[in-house]
Amino acid sequence: MEPKLILGSSSPRRQELLKQVHIPFTIRKPEADESQITEQNPEKKVAHLAQFKSRHINLLDSNEVILSADTVVSFQNKIFEKPKSKDEAYHMISLLSGSIHDVYSGFTIRTNTEEKTFVERTEVEFWPLDKQDIQWYISTDDPYDKAGAYGIQSIGAMFVKQIKGDYYNVVGLPISRVVKELTKFGIKSEYN
Ligand SMILES: Cc1cn([C@H]2C[C@H](O)[C@@H](COP(=O)(O)OP(=O)(O)OP(=O)(O)O)O2)c(=O)[nH]c1=O
């Protein structure tokens, strides 16, 4: 039986990135209480969360390959996940203003015989930002479903001075590395 990719994620960005490289998949969302993972090290946190999401998705067939992921922003030993309020979004963006922070994405690939987890880091530098710019930004919908309260691929692009590392890792999935690793599980782009 041909291996079949199951994306264990409700993130529209992760779905878009797989479509971008023409890898066919179906979606199966994890039912998991992520607050159970209290890890404070960002690298370990995204690895544990990607693993945790993966293990909360049922494998229904022996040819299924599950891909799950997690993304956090890390700045001065603090981890920023999705902001729960306007105040929290304001706070996150003002801390990131004028500085360099890290974005970590972890992803897990799991079958019924194997499980592997990978972590990728990208450095992002923000321009110094005006209070008014931050205030206007948090009044849009952009920050609230994104780690660190910004979207590099959307309005948040205007904050970004430069990045070092994989852009797609910031958007939620280091897609070229994901493709490389999926190939080892027999999952390929439709064009291969
Ligand atoms: C920093 C940053 C994050 N993000 C997103 C990627 C992730 O979707 C999100 C972090 O939340 P996650 O918990 O990693 O993912 P999710 O809840 O959206 O989806 P699921 O758990 O079902 O896979 O932040 C951007 O889209 N752009 C950015 O610039």
Tokens describing residue 188: 């390929």
Catalytically annotated residues: 70
- C-alpha to C-alpha distance for 13 and 32, rounded to whole angstroms: 20
Contact in structure between 174 and 129 (CB atoms under 8 Å)? no
Tens digit of pLDDT for each residue in 29-47? 988 888 888 899 999 999 9
In tens, the pLDDT along 128-148 reads 999 999 999 999 999 999 999
- CB 74 less than 6 A from any atom of ligand 1: no
pTM: 0.97
pLDDT digits (tens, 9 = 90+) for 143-191: 999 999 999 999 999 999 999 999 999 999 999 999 999 999 999 988 7
| ipTM above threshold 0.95 | yes
> What integer best gives the mean pLDDT of the chain?
96
Distance 1 CA to ligand 1 centre (A): 32
Ligand 1 atom with the smallest distance to the CA of 68 is 23
Q: What is the CATH number of domain 4-183?
A: 3.90.950.10
